[in-house]
A and B are shown apart, each in its own frame.
Chain A
Amino acid sequence: MGQIIIQGFLLSGLYALIAVGFTMIFSVGRVLNLAYGVYIMLGGYVYFVAVQMYSLPKVPSFLFAALAGVIFGVLTYQLLVKRLQGDAIAVEISTLILAVVMQAAIIVVFSPAPRSMWPLVPGVIYVYDVAVQKNILLATVVSWVVLGGLMVFVHKTHIGRAIRAVSMDPKGALISGIDPQRINLITWGLSGALGAIAGVFFATYTQLDPGMWVFPLITAVAVVIVGGIGSIVGSLIAAHIIGFMETITTTLIAAELRGVFTMLLIIVVLAVAPKGLFGKAEL
């Protein structure tokens, strides 16, 4: 029981981080970025190259990974999404193609073989007799710090308020002197950074391989659908629903079944309450 609660919270924190980067883009631009999984993969691989191939220290490598996410997010928006803006389906399809292209690129550079990542912090600590890997604990702590920082950013800073304004009403924001394209660009960069940071932890959680972008993308989609597209608070709650559901399935039934229940949840929620459990709350 203790095991389920602790593991559930740890996994959910990571899922929340994965999902928030994904839902931000939808809030602001009303498009789904199916290349989001690529930022996660990119984060993992950049960290891997920096630490395990070039033996750089961990903290700068972590920042490199986040930077790579920012650059790739900005490039996706500038080169691909900007011109297709307004056509949500075209954006979804072109970002899906982009994801497959990046998967092929990773295979070319790193070969299709999976790589295992060293944990960021090795070792195990005991919380109420439950063994918890320090690495996963760190992932959860960092997730919460990043999410908290994000909340402060969107509520307290000027740019953050502009992001919220665009997500509520792009035309109104434009009239108030906000450039929605610039805000979109910032959001895509931010989303790339969040994805890449989540990716470093996700990769230590599982492993690095060229197909690893699919599972986090599907998880982000699930969290966002269950929470209601565009709602950060809804995403946090949904991340915990899905995180706990997976932990319970893994511990009590079978690890292979966790995906099945998540998918069933998506289908049921979409069929019963298409706006998600928490509708369209504020960003």
Chain B
Amino acid sequence: MWLLGQLRWWLLFALGMSLLPLFISPGTLRIFIFANFLAMFAMSWDILSGRTGYISFGHPFLIGIAGYTTAMLTYHLNWPLYITIPTAVVTTMIGGTLFFLPALRIRGTYFALVTLAFMELMYHSMQVVQPKLTGGTRGLSGLPTLVSGAVPNYYLSFLVMFAIGVGLWLLIRTRLGIALSAIRMDEDAVRSSGLNTTRLKLFAFMVSAMVAGIAGALYTHYLGSIAPRGIFEINFLFTILVAALLGGAGTIIGPIIGAYFLTFLLELLRPYIPGAGRYLIYGVIALVLYYYVPKGLYSLFERLRERFFRPRPDPQSD
């Protein structure tokens, strides 16, 4: 019962979203599908970087590993998706461990840069190393899809996004989740209180990689194609980062808000500003919002809620 009370907003959200296909066109639904995937990517970033403060500039690296694993297995070996997708998730988690090694020794700026190097490394090597396997610069296309049509894809992406969202949201409410955010505030203090920060960090990396793996594999099969350009790219990283930060880093709900907000902002601008100008306005709005509301939209909602509802103080929130 307690859990149900905690989850009431989530359930309301799910109810609203599951009725959505009744009201809107398949075209608009595809925008929602993209928003769902972006929300998954942003949450994956958030559980690692938003919580522990180890800023990752290389999340496209993890997403790309997942996408390429499942793409190559289905493309070359014709393995069925129910095998390739779990394999991709496991591979991504192994990739996540590789990602984790530098975090044992370096923090802050240096860590962000080494993750950026991982992403660039993949971008360059995917095009030249074994282009027969990876498809080189053009990538692989004609990959099988899990379900076809806008409505089934919408439900699939929403269901997965929702499950990840609720799971991570519950996770950050546990003692474990609180310990993760304590790492962001003062890692040495966490260690002095007798917690094994290495294990905690490894856990955050594994969860983040798992979410990135699931999302990356499903996204690849939703698109039906994969190429180095578009994945291992700073613009992709930018979208993920901005979604998480504009929504509110470290909150899990924030990245979902951010992902929807960004996706719809881009769509809302479409009729007014044609072509590339749209991305300019979109970037400027992102920059101004980040500048003035660095804690994200979620913090604005919280402030409004406090003003109008005055809830009892919640001992779990931090």
Contact = CB atoms under 8 A, between A and B. Distances in A.
A25 B279 CA distance: 28
Contacts of A104: 276-277, 279-280, 282-283
14 contacts: A88-B108, A97-B238, A97-B283, A104-B279, A112-B276, A222-B117, A260-B124, A266-B117, A267-B102, A270-B102, A270-B110, A270-B117, A271-B114, A274-B110
A80 B294 CA distance: 13
Interface stretch (A63-71, A121-129, A135-143, A251-259): A251-259
Given A93-B241, A94-B290, A107 B276 contact: yes
Given A93-B245, A267-B121, A101 B128 contact: no
Interface string A225-240: 1000100000000000
Contacts of B89: none
The 7 A-B pairs of least Cβ separation, nearest first, read A259-B124, A101-B283, A263-B121, A104-B280, A266-B117, A104-B279, A256-B128
B14 interface: no
Nearest to A102: B283
A270 B114 contact: yes
A281 interface: no
A221 B120 CA distance: 12
Given A100-B238, A101-B284, A89 B110 contact: no
A108 B110 contact: no
Given A256-B127, A270-B110, A214 B234 contact: yes
Interface in A188-240: 214, 218, 221-222, 225, 229
Interface of A: 32, 80, 83-84, 88-90, 92-94, 96-101, 103-105, 107-108, 111-112, 214, 218, 221-222, 225, 229, 254, 256-257, 259-260, 263-264, 266-267, 270-271, 274
Given A89-B55, A111-B276, A274-B110, 11 more contacts: A80-B291, A88-B108, A93-B290, A96-B241, A107-B276, A108-B276, A225-B113, A263-B120, A266-B113, A267-B102, A270-B110
B116 A221 contact: yes
Nearest to B229: A211
A150 B61 CA distance: 38
Nearest to A89: B55
Interface string B122-148: 011101110000000000000000000
Given A100-B234, A100-B283, A108-B276, A274 B291 contact: no
Nearest to B280: A104
Interface of B: 55, 101-102, 105-106, 108-110, 112-114, 116-118, 120-121, 123-125, 127-129, 234-235, 238, 241-242, 245, 275-277, 279-280, 282-284, 286-287, 290-291, 294
Given A98-B287, A260-B125, A263-B124, A107 B109 contact: no
Contacts of B291: 80, 83-84, 94
B294 A90 contact: yes
A173 to B, nearest CB: 22
Given A89-B108, A94-B287, A267 B114 contact: yes
Contacts of A90: 294
Contacts of A267: 102, 114, 117-118, 121
A229 B108 CA distance: 13
B101 A271 contact: yes
A80 B287 CA distance: 9
A43 to B, nearest CB: 20
Contacts of A98: 287
Contacts of B287: 80, 94, 97-98, 101
A32 B109 CA distance: 8
Contacts of B116: 218, 221
Contacts of A94: 287, 290-291
Contacts of A214: 234
Nearest to B292: A83
Given A267-B114, A270-B106, A259 B238 contact: no
B291 to A, nearest CB: 6
A104 B273 CA distance: 13
* Most chain B C-beta atoms within 10 Å of own C-beta, residue among A92, A111, A263: A263
B204 to A, nearest CB: 17
A259 B120 contact: yes
B114 A107 contact: no
Contacts of A88: 108-109
Nearest to B276: A107
A171 B109 CA distance: 22
A260 B241 CA distance: 24
A25 B139 CA distance: 38
Contacts of B123: 259
Contacts of B127: 256
B157 to A, nearest CB: 25
Contacts of B282: 104
Contacts of A263: 117-118, 120-121, 124
